[in-house]
Amino acid sequence: MSDNLIQQHMTKRPYLICLMMTSVDGKILGEKWGKSKEVQPLTESFEKVHELIGHKSWIVGRTTMEKDFTHYAKPVYKEVDHAINREDFVASKDADSYAVVLDAQAKLGWNSSDMLGQHVITVLTESVQDSYLAHLQQIGLSYIFGGKEDINLHVVLEKLTSLFGIETLMVEGGGRLNGSFLNEGLIDEYHQLILPLADGRIETSSVFEIPEAGRRFNATLLKLQEVKQIEHEVIWLRYKVAGQV
Ligand X SMILES: NC(=O)c1ccc[n+]([C@@H]2O[C@H](COP(=O)([O-])OP(=O)(O)OC[C@H]3O[C@@H](n4cnc5c(N)ncnc54)[C@H](OP(=O)(O)O)[C@@H]3O)[C@@H](O)[C@H]2O)c1
What residues from 172 to 231 belong to the interface with ligand X (CB under 6 A)?
172-177, 180, 205, 209
CB of 203 to ligand X, least distance (A): 12
Q: Does 141 bind ligand X (CB under 6 A)?
A: no
Cβ closest to ligand X, residue 29 vs residue 121:
29
Q: Binding residue for ligand X (CB under 6 A) from 151, 160, 166, 195?
A: 151
What residues from 77 to 96 belong to the interface with ligand X (CB under 6 A)?
none
Q: Does 105 bind ligand X (CB under 6 A)?
A: yes
Cβ closest to ligand X, residue 86 vs residue 107:
107
Three-state SS for 161-192 is HHHHCCCEEEECCCHHHHHHHHHCCCCCEEEE
Q: Which long-range contacts (CB under 8 A, 24 or more apart) does 222-226 make?
A: 222/190, 225/189
Cβ closest to ligand X, residue 28 vs residue 144:
28
CB of 1 to ligand X, least distance (A): 30
Cβ closest to ligand X, residue 108 vs residue 166:
108
Cα–Cα distance, 27 to 34 (Å, whole number): 14
Q: Which stretch binds ligand X (CB under 6 A): 1-9, 90-98, 169-177, 210-218?
A: 169-177
CA dist 48 → 41, 211, 231, 244 (Å): 11, 31, 10, 30
Q: Does 171 bind ligand X (CB under 6 A)?
A: no
Q: Does 120 bind ligand X (CB under 6 A)?
A: no
Q: Does 59 bind ligand X (CB under 6 A)?
A: no
Cβ closest to ligand X, residue 114 vs residue 184:
184
Looking at beta carbons, which residue is closest to ligand X? 174
Beta carbons within 8 Å of 122's beta carbon, 6+ residues apart: 100, 101, 103, 106, 108, 110, 136, 141, 142, 143, 144
CB of 168 to ligand X, least distance (A): 18
CB of 66 to ligand X, least distance (A): 9
Binding site for ligand X (CB under 6 A): 20-21, 28-30, 46, 60-64, 67-68, 102-105, 107, 151, 153, 172-177, 180, 205, 209
